Amino acid sequence: MKINYCSLTGWWVLGLSLLSATPAAAGANRALAFNGTGAYVDTGAGVIPASGDFTVEVWANCPSAPSTYKEILSQGSSGNAFYMGTDTANNIRLGDGWGAPGVPFPVGGWHHFAVVKTSTNTIFYLDGTNRISKGSTIPNPVASTGLRFGCQYGNGEYWPGSIDDVRVWNVARTPGQIQTNRFATLIGSESGLVANWQCNEGRGTNCAAVGINPAKGTLLNGPRWILSGVWTPSLQLNGTNLATNLINTAFSDPGATLTLPVVGIAAGGQHSVALKADGTVVAWGEDSFGETVVPATATNMVAVAAGYWHSLALRASGTVLTWGSIAAAPGSATNVMAIAAGAWHCLALKADGTVVAWGDNSGGQTVVPATAINVVAVAGGEKTQSGGEGEWHGGGLGR
C-alpha cells in the first residue's frame, strides 16, 4: 500500500518530537478567504446549465453572522438568478426562485451546501442531509452574468468568509452521492461533472477547474489563499476489480493510495495544542506562563503551533493569535498562510512568500535574511546541546 500523507514538519528538541504548522506549499487543503467588501472570483462563464437538471455544491465558512444579504456564489440576472447566501435574518437564500426556504445559516466552522434541481423539485442539502424540499422546480440561471464566487451576480453582497471546492453538475445528484462524495477529491471525469474548482493552488491570481467546462476563475480585489478547514480524506484503489484479481487470477496487488488531511495538532516543551473541526483551539499540559490558557478570541482558526512556553494559532483571516510567554504578532504578520514555533520565537509565512519572525532573538533567530523570498514552508528550532555549545535556529524552505 502506498500512503501519501499531507505534510507534517517534524522537529526534535531535547529528545521531544515537536510538530510545527503544516507548510504552505501548493497542494491539497487550501481554500479562498474573502473580505466581505469587494473580493470575489469571476469565472467569466455561465457554468450552471441554462436548462435541464443541475446540482451545485460548495464548502463555505462564515465566522460571524452577516445580518445582511451576502452571497457564497451566484450566476444569472435579476428574476432568474441562482445563488447561495444569507438574508438580513441570517437565513439561507437559494436564488430568485427560492428566496426563503426557512433554514438558518450555520454560522461558524466549515459546512457543505448543495442544491439539486430537477424537472419537478428542488432540494437543499446541508452537510449531506436533506434539510428541505421545495416541492417545485426553480429556474435555470441564464449566462448573462457568469458564475461568481463571493458576490452577487451584479456585484455587491460580498462574502465575509471562506469558500472551498465548488462543484457544478448537469445532473441531479442522488442523496447518497451528496452524502458520501462531499469529502471526495474529484478527478474531472466523473459523469455529469461540468466543473470543479478545488481551490488548491495556494498562490497566484487564478483558480483552475476540472470537468467538461473547466472555466478558469480569476481572483479580483484580493481573495486570499488560506489553509482549508475541510476534512477531506480519500482512499483510491489502484487497479480494477481487485477482488477478481485476487480470487480468480494470478496474484496482483497494485495497492491503494490514501490521502489524509492536515492534522491540527502541535506539541510544545511540556504542553499540547489541538485545533478542533469547528475552528476553536484546546490546550493542556504545563501552564507556567499561560501557554494552555486559550484566549476566548481563538475562533475560526486554521492552524496551531507551540513553542516551549507559548502557543499560537492562525486565523482564517490570515492574522496570528499568540498566548503564553510570547509577544503578540507584529503588525506585518498579515496574509499569513502558515505558522511555526521555535522554543522562544515564532515564524509566520505570508502569502507573498516572505517570512515574519518575532520573539527571543538571542541567537539571531528572528533576523530573517533578505534572501528569504519565495518561501513555501517554515519551521522553528530550539537550543540543542553538543559539546557544551548551543545552537538556535529557525528557517524556511524556498521554491
Q: What is the pLDDT of residue 114?
A: 98
Q: Determine the residue type at 3.
A: I
Q: Answer yes or no: do 175 and 82 share one domain.
A: yes
Per-residue confidence band for 28, with pLDDT thresholds at 50, 70 and 90: low
Based on the fold, state whether residues 159 and 103 are members of the same structural domain: yes
pTM of the model: 0.66
Reply yes or no on whether the pLDDT at 386 is more than 80: no
The CATH number that applies at residue 385 is: 2.130.10.30
Q: Which parts of the chain fold into alpha helices (H)?
A: 175-181, 242-248
Nearest to 192 by CA among 170, 166, 215: 170
Higher pLDDT, 131 or 374: 131
Cell numbers given for 392 = 538556535
Mean pLDDT calculated for residue range 307-336: 91
pLDDT tens per residue, range 252-273: 555 655 554 445 889 998 999 9
Which residue range(s) make up the domain with 338? 2-26+261-398
The pLDDT of 317-328, averaged and rounded, is 92
Same domain, 179 and 272: no
Q: Residue 81's domain is classified under what CATH number?
A: 2.60.120.200
Q: Could you identify the residue written with the cell 476540472?
A: 210
Q: Are residues 118 and 153 in the same domain?
A: yes
pLDDT at res. 96: 92
Enter the C-alpha cell of residue 254.
Answer: 497494485
Q: Which residue has the higher pLDDT, 105 or 19?
A: 105
Across-strand partners of 335? none
| Distance (Å, whole) CA 153 – CA 248 | 56
CB 103 within 8 A of CB 126: yes
Say whether both 6 and 107 belong to one domain.
Answer: no
Tell me, yes or no, whether 141 and 182 share the same domain. Answer: yes
Q: How far is Cα 339 from Cα 313, in angstroms, rounded to an integer?
A: 8
pLDDT in tens, 214-247: 999 999 999 998 888 776 555 555 555 555 444 4
Average pLDDT of the residues in 46-64: 95
Assigned domain for 248 exists: no
Would you say residue 8 has pLDDT above 60? Answer: no
Can you tell me the distance from the alpha carbon of 374 to that of 383, in angstroms, rounded to the nearest whole number? 27
Q: In the structure grid, which three cell numbers stand for residue 325, read together?
A: 510567554
Does some domain include residue 290? yes
Q: Are residues 283 and 216 in the same domain?
A: no
Count CB-CB contacts under 10 A for residue 253. Answer: 11
Q: Determine what percent of the chain is predicted with pLDDT higher than 90.
A: 61
In a domain, 254, yes or no: no
Cell of 49: 446549465
pLDDT attached to residue 13:
30
Question: What's the pLDDT at 387?
Answer: 42
